[in-house]
Amino acid sequence: MRAKQRGSCVLLVYLLSRIAFAQSNPETRTLVVNGQSADAAVVQIHNRSFADLETLARLANGTLSFRGTQVNLQFRCSETAAASIPEVDQVRAKTALSRDFVIAGIETLAQMREWASAMAYAIQNGYGVTANWAGDYRAKASGSLTLASSAATTDSDRNALQLLTNELDNVSTWSDKLVEAKQSMDTAKYSASLGALRNEPLSQKILSCGHFLGTMLGSGEFKDDPSCH
């Protein structure tokens, strides 16, 4: 904002430096600068308006001084004008994630990744996969999500929590699907090809959302992505 504010001040000084008081048929008019008004002598020369420098300096909350043939005008941009330029920090504050939520969210994401990785490894290598075995991972991930929910204190936290919940639901659905496939002896297709399990639509969705969530939590700022819906 400071760079923009300085730019506005420079522009204001440039414009006002062109204004001089002329002693030719002056008229009294009302000048308004930064919301402040006052009567000032104004003259028209070649279809251009010129106003009293002292009045302009006073209305613009500036100072006017003379040194020899030099006229010095200094302006301080008004607080109203400065406030009209949105602060980057204020914008980011609306989407910032709280520290406690970020920590809990990262732990939840780690638990989901551990669950998904263990399921994929077991299926691809022909190990026994049961509902009880998968349930242990489900319980850990759900417990972490509960802690993240308790840590969500802002709107951004709650929005991010919904994305984490969606990811957990997808991992849970995917896990149930693999347990059912193991029970029906329908997992050979996964062990025959290393990419078969990874390339399934639900697997891709989980991977994409997990990567996005990791980046979002690392940035500490809420963002949204279709892969998490």
**Structure confidence by residue, pLDDT tens digits, 53-95:** 777 777 777 777 777 777 777 766 555 544 544 555 666 678 9
Tokens of 145: 């999500």
Residues 73 and 96 in one domain: no
**118 shares a domain with 32:** no
Are 75 and 140 within one domain? no
Look at residues 62, 83, 104 and tell me which one is the last residue of a structural domain. 83
Q: Rounded to whole angstroms, what are the CA distances from 127 to 118, 138, 172, 186?
A: 10, 18, 19, 13
65: domain range?
Answer: 2-83
Torsion region of 96: left, alpha or beta (phi above 0 gives left; psi -120 to 50 gives alpha): beta
Same domain membership, residue 105 and residue 74: no
H-run or E-run covering 38: strand 36-45
Taking the C-alpha atoms of 49, 55, 56 and 62 in order, what is their torsion angle to the nearest 10 degrees?
160
The residue out of 83, 99, 123 marking a domain boundary is: 83
Does residue 65 sit in the same domain as residue 112?
Answer: no
Instruction: Give the gyration radius of the chain's Cα atoms.
Output: 33
Specify whether 44 is located in the same domain as 93. Answer: no
150 & 218 share domain? yes
218 and 109 in a common domain: yes
Count of structural domains, the chain? 2
- pLDDT value for 16: 42
Of 24, 53, 83, which residue sits at a domain end? 83
- Is residue 125 located within the same domain as residue 22? no
| Residue 57, pLDDT score | 73
Q: Tell whether 110 and 189 lie within a shared domain.
A: yes
116 and 71 share one domain: no
| Cα→Cα distances 176→110, 130, 152, 188, Å | 19, 9, 28, 17
Query: Based on the domain organization, do 98 and 149 belong to the same domain?
Result: yes
Residue 76 pLDDT? 66
Contact 104, 164 (CB under 8 A): no
User: What string of pLDDT tens digits covers the 229 residues of the chain?
Assistant: 544 444 444 444 444 444 444 445 677 777 676 666 777 777 766 566 767 777 777 777 777 777 777 777 776 655 554 454 455 566 667 899 999 999 999 999 999 999 999 999 998 888 888 999 999 999 999 999 999 999 999 999 999 999 999 999 999 999 999 999 888 887 777 776 667 888 899 999 999 999 999 999 999 999 999 999 9
